[in-house]
Amino acid sequence: MTQSLWWQRAGVEPLRTPLTSDVDADVAIVGAGFTGVWTAYYLTRQRPDLRVRVLEAGRVGFGASGRNGGWCSALFPAELPAVARGYGDAAAIAMQRTMHATVGVIGDVVAEHGIDCDWSHGGSVYLARSDVQAARGQAMIATAREYGFGVEDYRWLDAAATTARVSSTNVVGSVYTPHCAAVDPLKLLRGVAAAAEAQGAVINEATRVREIAPGRVVTDSGTVRARHVIRATEAYTALLPGAARDIAPVYSLMIATEPLPPQVWNEIGLARRETFNDLRHLVIYGQRTADDRLAFGGRGAPYHAGSAIRPEFDLNDGVHDSLAATLADLFPVLEGVRITHRWGGPLGIARDWWARVAYDTESGLGWAGGYVGDGVGTSNLAGRTMTHLIAGTDSPLLELPWVNRPLRRWEPEPLRWLGANAALTAMKIADASETATGRPSRIAATVHRLLGT
């Protein structure tokens, strides 16, 4: 793994004891990222009598949980109309309202346990830097209004109001939502892991899982026998036998600047550490860190054939250089600023662009994931939901449309490779076309229809 800013700043913790023998547990969780750790946290909180064991091949936060952009957002991969088409308006509204509330739920956990994770609940700004992007932003708000979400959830800011928050080039307006916090994701995850352990959970690091089956998890160094077995492996699901088509691992890459002086921040803004992006098709995302760096990332790296995941894929000079150029285009004051960190890693995407949480009461097998890069918040909801599914307790969370939604598998290779990279190329072309013509891209609209998003 190429070390992210978060890993470099937080340093290395002592290794948690690896599994060394066969053991019994009530719940075995595979993966110590946000999904696995949140599930362990809520299980041991609600049911302290349960023996909960988390198995991690690397270290807590090795995967996307320790490498992401630090957006604790209310974003759900399937947008409101897509949820409503399948489950009705009421279900779509409930799903989004629950995501809104989840940001506050996480903030409460941070406060309760005194987790030092640079939490700043400043909201998010979606910049519109052209008339086409402005139309897209206005359409976002119009859709939100159709489903009953008011100005307290999403509102349009004109150019002046946008610039007062974040001063980027070519701004014509923005969509602002308060439902997002900037955070150091690795510090957050480590804090939640420590809280789960204090409540009785056991986390075994450096313990590679070879087989997941009803009633057992087989590792290189022993078998965990458990009534409930939960897979929380997100992008790394593709490496498990028979699961290569369940979740596609797609790389997202990031850079971080050196700490910037006050005069630079006076020019850029982000005084409340609002997270930000713009409304182009090829996703970008950024935040002002607590030590006054700008951490910035985006898509653009290719999907690798066979759902391959390798350390060398974490770095891509072309994509990282493009991110630096995009950042300087957004904020010319950053031209020539030293980039101190370059990193990346895979995130998990389901074929239908839905995150989901699933549990089978007969076999005791469960899993959650497919967050499409929006997992910091969604994984908390997954952990709470999985806890109710395992414990057999009633909750309105179990009525949400992502619970036990059937999985649509990805196409076999080479179709998966061809389709994923064709969609990536199409989005790059779409952005270039909109910049050149000032008109919405038909190519992008076609890709969204094909993906069902």
In a domain, 256, yes or no: no
pLDDT tens figures, 49-94: 999 999 999 999 999 999 999 999 999 999 999 999 999 999 999 9
Burial 338-375 (b: 16+ CB within 10 A, else e): ebebbbbbbbbbbbbbbbbbbbeeeebbbbbbbbbbbb
Distance CA 42, CA 55 (A): 17
- For residue 431, which of 250, 253, 300 has the smallest C-alpha distance? 300
The parent domain of residue 424 ranges over 411-453
Tally of structural domains, the chain? 1
In a domain, 201, yes or no: no
Q: Around Cβ 49, how many Cβ atoms within 10 Å?
A: 7
Q: 104: which residues sit within 8 A by CB, 6+ positions away? A: none
Decide if pLDDT at 392 tops 70. Answer: yes
Decide if pLDDT at 452 tops 90. Answer: no
Average pLDDT (262-281) is 97
Confidence of residue 386 (pLDDT cuts 50, 70, 90): very high
In a domain, 437, yes or no: yes
* Mean pLDDT score of the chain: 96
> Exposed, middle or buried by CB within 10 Å (0-12, 13-18, 19+), for 411?
middle
3-state SS class at 156? strand
In a domain, 443, yes or no: yes
Distance CA 83, CA 73 (A): 18
Average pLDDT (353-374) is 97
- For residue 95, which of 81, 107, 85, 80 has the smallest C-alpha distance? 80
The letter for the amino acid at 232 is A
pLDDT of residue 12: 87
Say which residue the tokens 């995302």 belong to: 285
Predicted TM-score (pTM) of the model is: 0.97
3-state percent helix, strand, coil for the chain, nearest multiple of 5: 40, 25, 35
In a domain, 33, yes or no: no
pLDDT tens figures, 283-329: 999 999 999 999 999 999 999 999 999 999 999 999 999 999 999 99
Alpha carbon 207 to chain centroid distance? Answer: 24
In a domain, 286, yes or no: no
Decide if pLDDT at 1 tops 70. Answer: no
Decide if pLDDT at 246 tops 90. Answer: yes
| Two structure tokens written together for 225 | 């026998």
In a domain, 394, yes or no: no
pLDDT of residue 185: 98
Average pLDDT (105-125) is 98
Distance CA 318, CA 321 (A): 5
| Two structure tokens written together for 277 | 């992006």
Distance CA 300, CA 316 (A): 10
pLDDT tens figures, 432-447: 988 989 999 888 778 7
In a domain, 74, yes or no: no
Sheet holding 173-177, edge to edge: 155-158, 173-177, 124-128, 275-278, 284-288, 294-298, 248-257, 339-349
